[in-house]
Amino acid sequence: MENSGYLALARQVALDRAIDVTANNLANLRTSGYKAEKVMFEEYVQKGTSPATAPNQMSSVVQLGTFTDYQPGSFEQTGNALDFAIQGEGFFPVQTDAGTRYTRDGSFQLDANGQLVTHDGDPVTDAGGSPIQLPPGAKNIVVGGDGQVSVDGNVVGQIGVVKFDDPQSLVREGSGLYSSSAAPVPAESAVVQGMIEGSNVQPVLELTRMMQTLRDFQAAQQVVDSQHEMSLDAINKIAKV
């Protein structure tokens, strides 16, 4: 009879995860290039001990995984020549100490040597993995839709845009970076200069999901409470006999 308590507990543990993911999406409501995370649950079926007395099985909920919603975020015009957004699928490759990483956050800068870098100082590369070096004093920087960087009319490099056959296999690393064990393939998506892709988190959806999660959590609590009442009732009645 205690099973209902365990089932409710499994539900509450799952909902606890769900609220963490929702809270993280809301915290990143204004993070450039952020992609919302979604949770998936699956049923875990526990078979009864004696098959003769079927249906004697319980199914509880376990978290199967999280997946990323790769819908595009809204584009925001910044007017900054070193801000870029990708129109369509794809990522900018970034060379970090730990290896190549991929990002959708195209708010880049120049470092003291004139290399195109992210906020963390990691060089942004072309599709082949070479950094983009701008000549000293470069001011008139124009980047075409294909990512080609020209300074005063001279082509100095091409910002890479790559994609993956299965973007869900990417691992989130934080700081807007993703890593992958699979090799990327070049993407045909256009690079837009002077724009930044905002977060694709939809606040209304997240808030309603949060309310739903809270109510579900409280409902599961009701199950625990009534089971407790039943046990108490039984103890009292049996004690009277």
Partner 1 sequence: MRALSIGATGMMAQQLNVEVISNNIANMSTTGYKRQRAEFQDLLYQQERHVGSPTSDTGTILPSGVQVGLGVKTAAISRDDEQGALAKTDNRLDVALQGPGFFNVQLPNGDTAYTRAGSFQLAADGTIVTADGYPVQPAIVIPANAKDVVISTAGEVFAYFDGQVQPQNLGQLELSTFINDNGLEAEGNNLFKETTASGAPTVGVAGQTGFGTILQGYLEGSNVNVVSEITNLIQAQRAYEMNSKSIETADQMLQTITQLR
Q: Which of 60, 66, 100, 148 binds partner 1 (CB under 8 A)?
A: 66
Instruction: Give the whole-angstrom CA distance, residue 22 versus residue 30.
Output: 14
Neighbour count for residue 124 (Cβ, 10 Å): 23
Phi, psi angle pair for 41, to nearest 5°: -115, 155
- Binding to partner 1 by residue 71, rule CB under 8 A? no
Place of tokens 């724009």: 195
- Binding to partner 1 by residue 17, rule CB under 8 A? yes
The site string for partner 1 over 26-55 (x = CB under 8 A, - otherwise) reads xxxxxxx-x--x--x---------------
Instruction: Give the whole-angstrom CA distance, residue 224 versus residue 218.
Output: 10
SS3 state of residue 51: helix
CB of 50 to partner 1, least distance (A): 29
Q: Which of 51, 55, 99, 174 binds partner 1 (CB under 8 A)?
A: 174
Residue number, 51 or 79, with CB nearest to partner 1: 79
Residues 191-210 that bind partner 1 (CB under 8 A): 203, 206-207, 210
The site string for partner 1 over 78-107 (x = CB under 8 A, - otherwise) reads xxx------------------------x-x
Number of residues that bind partner 1 (CB under 8 A): 68
Phi, psi angle pair for 88, to nearest 5°: 105, -165
Instruction: Give the whole-angstrom CA distance, residue 88 versus residue 132.
Output: 22
Residue 216, token pair as written in the block: 């579900």
Q: Which of 3, 16, 69, 186 binds partner 1 (CB under 8 A)?
A: 16
Residue 8, token pair as written in the block: 């409710």
Residue 160, token pair as written in the block: 């890479």
CB of 129 to partner 1, least distance (A): 22
Instruction: Give the whole-angstrom CA distance, residue 3 versus residue 7.
Output: 6
How many Å separate Cα 138 from the centre of its chain?
A: 35
CB of 29 to partner 1, least distance (A): 4
| Choices 47-55, 123-131, 183-191, 214-222; region in contact with partner 1 by CB under 8 A | 214-222
Q: Give 55-69 as a DSSP string.
A: S--EEEEEEEEEEE-
Q: Which of 52, 112, 183, 239 binds partner 1 (CB under 8 A)?
A: 112
Residues 141-160 that bind partner 1 (CB under 8 A): none
Residue 157, token pair as written in the block: 């490099």
Instruction: Give the whole-angstrom CA distance, residue 198 versus residue 32.
Output: 5
Q: Which residues bind partner 1 (CB under 8 A)?
A: 12, 15-17, 19-24, 26-32, 34, 37, 40, 63-68, 78-80, 105, 107, 109-114, 119-120, 134, 136-139, 166, 168-176, 181, 203, 206-207, 210-211, 213-214, 217-218, 221, 224-225, 228
